[in-house]
Amino acid sequence: MVAGEQRRAMVACSIVSMINMSDTDHVLGASMKKPRTLFTSAGDVAIAYQVVGNGPTDLIYASGWLHNIDIIWEHAGYNRLLSRLAEHYRLILFDKRGTGMSDRDVGAPTLEQRTDDIRAVMEAAGSDKASIFGVSEGANMATMFAAIYPERVNSIILVGCYACRAWKPDWPFGFRRAEFESMVKLLGENWGDFRDFLALRAPSVATDEDEIEFNNRLFVQSGSPSTAVNITRLNYELDIRPILPSVQAPSLVLHSRGDRVVTLEEAEFIAETLPRSRLKILEREDHLPWIGNVDEVADEIIAFASEVTNAEVSDRILATILMTDIEGSTSATVRMGDARWREIIDAHDIAAARVVARHGGTLIKTMGDGILATFAGPSRAVACAKNLKQEASLLDLSIRAGVHTGECERRGKDISGVAVNVAARILDVTPGGACFVSSLVRDLTAGSGLEFAPAGSHQFKGLPGDWDLYAVT
């Protein structure tokens, strides 16, 4: 066995012994007993997860909005949907940070952080590669994970996926700010009464008292009113449209024709933008896949995930590029002399390698008077840039930094591609001591606590269009 297979086998045996039930007890007539909840860590945050079924391949379930893996099994439709999937796959489900059984007091986690929860759960469950089934917000997580870690994803199934919640001149499907603020106000004031929630997301059962009671309990035990409001606000700021072209995995966009949360036009856009996608429209109204004919939803997921298990993966990945430059390096060399300047640069490079590693990045190379590094997420890159500035000041140096998230190509230990060129152009227009980022970096760091100020619209040689930049404040 290879190391990954050995780890997976050990984890599987451990899970079976802890759950202490036979396969026939576990999956019986597509109705499953609630499995034991396990815990792992993503950084310093505890993430709750469950593993059920023993199929030949893994399927990760990334839920939407608020979720509680200990409650969902009590709902007949939810139970049947998950049970059907567990008959064919080793199903791994979890509560993302801030919700359910996972650590709650974590603020409003960024999409980058929530996506990293998938990685942490896969590691804990001994899963080297999987298909990912994401619903609504969970579909955003699945999309970003597939773009960042193409070698770990067989396929993605996106149910009720949205690309952008906010109205923009080039995106008429979103909510305008005033309309959104009104919705958020009502959400906070009426927490615990989800009749309106069901009317929008599950109209087929909107007046069913049992469904209303279940949803009231599910969401109240999944998060507090402030958690719901914070996550809703965070999702409003996200725009994953630039990420979609970077997804290499085969993708199924599964959409209810009458969905009142995400329009059919949005689903069509996502399916058209993903490079290897298929759009399947279901003749139903419910946004929530565990309502109504769940067998129809399960059949589509099973058929697609079983169809593509050995997707080809290129060296293209979605990454956040950080480039830095030491201000006034030429004049400093003349002033200090080559020998002393070499000592300063060596100290800078050692400190830079340490800081990049501390933030989970990869130092691609040093460039004499700066560095090139990549990160799985933009907030880590920006935090790293801020720390690099502090380290540089200890050496009486001033640096500037440019950060951009985009598709690049791995070439051995080096990288290339448009994203690298964009980061270099951003660095060119960044003044000394500052850090400029692209608009995508700003959008993807919503909820991180980072603050930005507009830094103008720029045109870059060889790159089409105008580029709106933002300064880290």
Task: Compute and round to an integer the Cα radius of gyration of the chain.
Answer: 23
Q: What is the pLDDT of residue 331?
A: 79
**Under DSSP, is residue 25 helix (H, G, I), strand (E, B) or coil?**
helix
Among the listed residues 379, 380, 378, the one whose alpha carbon sits nearest the alpha carbon of residue 360? 380
- Compute CA 333 distance to the chain's CA centroid, rounded to the nearest angstrom: 43
Alpha-carbon dihedral of residues 325, 450, 407, 106, nearest 10 degrees?
A: 130
Strand partners, 372: 323, 365
Q: What is the pLDDT of residue 30?
A: 58
Q: What is the pLDDT of residue 308?
A: 66
pLDDT in single tens digits along all 473 residues of the chain:
344 445 445 444 444 434 333 333 333 345 788 999 999 999 899 999 999 999 999 999 999 999 999 999 999 999 999 999 999 999 999 999 999 999 998 877 889 999 999 999 999 999 999 999 999 999 999 999 999 999 999 999 999 999 999 999 999 999 999 999 999 999 988 898 988 889 999 999 999 999 999 999 999 999 999 999 999 999 999 999 999 999 999 999 999 999 999 999 999 999 999 999 999 999 999 999 999 999 999 999 999 999 865 656 778 889 999 999 998 877 777 778 778 888 888 999 999 999 999 999 999 999 888 999 999 999 999 999 999 999 999 988 999 999 999 999 988 889 999 999 999 999 999 999 999 999 999 999 988 889 999 999 999 988 999 999 999 99
Q: How open is the CA angle 366-411-458, to the nearest 5 degrees?
A: 65
Among the listed residues 83, 108, 107, the one whose alpha carbon sits nearest the alpha carbon of residue 25? 83
pTM (global) more than 0.85: yes
Q: What is the pLDDT of residue 311?
A: 55
Domain boundaries, the chain: 3-307, 316-472
The DSSP secondary-structure symbol of 374 reads: E
CATH architecture of the region 316-472: 2-Layer Sandwich (3.30)
Q: Are 309 and 154 in contact (CB under 8 A)?
A: yes
Q: Are 344 and 366 in contact (CB under 8 A)?
A: no
Residues in the chain: 473
Beta-carbon-side half-sphere exposure of residue 300 (alpha carbons within 13 Å) = 22
Backbone angles phi, psi at 340, to 5 degrees: -65, -40
Mention the CATH class of domain 3-307: alpha beta
**Please, what sign has the CA dihedral across residues 152, 77, 270, 99?**
negative
